[in-house]
Amino acid sequence: MSQYRTFTAQDAVEYAKQFGGLDNPSSLVEAQEIGDGNLNLVFKIFDAQGVSRIIVKQALPYVRCVGESWPLTLDRARLEAQTLVEHYQHSPQHTVKIHHYDPELAVMVMEDLSSHKIWRGELISGVYYPQASRQLGEYLAHTLFHTSDFYLHPHAKKAQVAKYINPEMCEITEDLFFNDPYQIHERNNYPAELEADVAALRSDDQLKIAVASLKHRFFSQAEALLHGDIHSGSIFVAEDSLKAIDAEFGYYGPIGFDIGTAIGNLLLNFCGLPGHLGIRDAAAAREQRLTDIQELWNTFSERFQALATEKTRDAALSVPGYASQFLKKVWTDAIGFCGTELIRRSVGLSHVADIDTIKDDAMRHECLRHAITLGKALIVIADRIDSAEALVARVRQYS
């Protein structure tokens, strides 16, 4: 059992030599800390030719941006590594490979993805990856189906639920998604110009009842091992490749949460595009996002349905027609969770670069307002939007 200590660059190099699974570990010579988050150290480990070969990631026991004053469980490193290892089993093409992890050191050694770029940045720059949304749909279908009651033996499923209980990271989601934006809270973060829009959220009882129902589903519906934070900043893309990373929010929850988070971030990009691109380019990129959303859902639901038909092991759940009925429930959940993502990224603590990096204040505020309006509508009318095409029609209506 190792004792936790914060890694230096040299520690990271030594650790990578030992646990990186490389043919020539002695070629590793130096490390560069590239973490731009504030929760983890992330070291790129280079060989003598200056080629980045492998990543060492270590969880910090506190939130770095506020010094050591906000402690955060190191157990999230175990949860992240185990979630990624589990997801890799079911979707090796689209999950970052974990070579090794140590729960005591809260450290993992993983595949270097220098050949890839973070999807969010590409989406903001207007670089289109036409395969990405389908690949994300495949990732979600494979990981969520194979960790669900359709596929797992009931004993194995229950053991998995216990293994992935993740109170501290879930609490962050519970607070940031479902509480803060609908009340006055010091963590909220929005320009004064939006005060009326945000105040309207706080006084909208119908909306708050729908949000309560979504939070209750997040609390109680253990449908599959979620990634838990599958936004476009947790996804690496390259030409014809997509890899999910950063799964420290992994837990057993409602499948619609992952779908809704993914779609929500495509819609946040949709909302922000006019702030980054010229009118014509923004319009074209927006159409790409709407296509992405349809392809994401349609790929996910078709693959999930196909897996259910082929591989469901539960006698009752295998009845023809049940998987497609369940997918309707997943879709309704997804629309609602998507709405909460739009709102919490506009009003709450943690924003997205798709909107926050827009320099023009008026434009940025307009994009934020757009996201809030759209999010609110989706939460309230979730059960009246019955397909990805209907969602796209609603998005056009609110644009």
Residue 265 carries which side chain, given as an amino acid letter?
Answer: N
- 300 class by beta-carbon count within 10 Å (0-12 exposed, 13-18 middle, 19+ buried): buried
111 is in an annotated binding site: yes
CB 347 within 8 Å of CB 201: yes
Contacting a second copy within 322-341 (CB under 8 A): 322, 325-326
Stretch in the footprint of a second copy (CB under 8 A) among 89-97, 236-244, 311-319, 355-363: 311-319
CB 39 within 8 Å of CB 63: yes
CB 95 within 8 Å of CB 146: no
Which of 53, 157, 303, 376: binder of a second copy (CB under 8 A)?
157
CB 181 within 8 Å of CB 201: yes
Structure tokens at 153: 């033996």
Residue 155 vs 280, nearer CB to a second copy: 155
For 100, the enclosing helix (H) or strand (E) is strand 98-102
Collapse the DSSP code of 164 into the 3-class scheme (helix H, G, I; strand E, B; otherwise coil) and give the result. coil
24 is in an annotated binding site: no
Q: What is the Cα–Cα distance from 231 to 259, expressed in whole angstroms?
A: 10
For residue 269, count other CB atoms closer than 10 A to its CB: 25
Name the E strands within 60-207: 98-102, 107-111, 117-118
List, as one string, the DSSP characters of 76-94: HHHHHHHHHHHHHHH-GGG
* Residue 51 in contact with a second copy, rule: CB under 8 A: no
Contacting a second copy within 183-212 (CB under 8 A): 183, 205, 208-209, 211-212
* Residue 78 in contact with a second copy, rule: CB under 8 A: no
CB 45 within 8 Å of CB 51: no
Residue 53 vs 376, nearer CB to a second copy: 376
* Residue 145 in contact with a second copy, rule: CB under 8 A: no
Closest distance between a second copy and the C-beta of residue 318, in Å? 8
List, as one string, the DSSP characters of 33-92: E---SSSEEEEEEEETTS-EEEEEEEE-SB-GGGTTSSB--THHHHHHHHHHHHHHHH-G
Residue 22 vs 317, nearer CB to a second copy: 317
248 is in an annotated binding site: yes
* Residue 270 in contact with a second copy, rule: CB under 8 A: no
CB 97 within 8 Å of CB 54: no
Closest distance between a second copy and the C-beta of residue 183, in Å? 7
Closest distance between a second copy and the C-beta of residue 324, in Å? 9
Residue 24 vs 325, nearer CB to a second copy: 325
For residue 344, count other CB atoms closer than 10 A to its CB: 25
* Residue 310 in contact with a second copy, rule: CB under 8 A: no
Which of 174, 302, 356, 366: binder of a second copy (CB under 8 A)?
174
Residue 65 vs 162, nearer CB to a second copy: 162
- Give just the sign of the alpha carbon dihedral 36, 37, 40, 44: negative
Residue 73 vs 131, nearer CB to a second copy: 73
30 is in an annotated binding site: no
* Residue 24 in contact with a second copy, rule: CB under 8 A: no
Q: What is the Cα–Cα distance from 97 to 81, expressed in whole angstroms?
A: 10
Which letter does DSSP use for residue 319 in this model? S
* Residue 397 in contact with a second copy, rule: CB under 8 A: no
Residue 177 vs 190, nearer CB to a second copy: 177
Which of 18, 92, 115, 216: binder of a second copy (CB under 8 A)?
216
- Number of amino acids touching a second copy (CB under 8 A): 43
What is the contact surface with a second copy in residues (CB under 8 A)? 149, 154-155, 157-159, 161-162, 165-168, 170-171, 174, 178-179, 182-183, 205, 208-209, 211-213, 215-216, 219-223, 314-322, 325-326
Q: Which residues are annotated as a binding site for ATP?
A: 40, 57, 111-113, 246-248
Q: Which residues are annotated as a binding site?
A: 40, 57, 111-113, 229, 246-248, 344
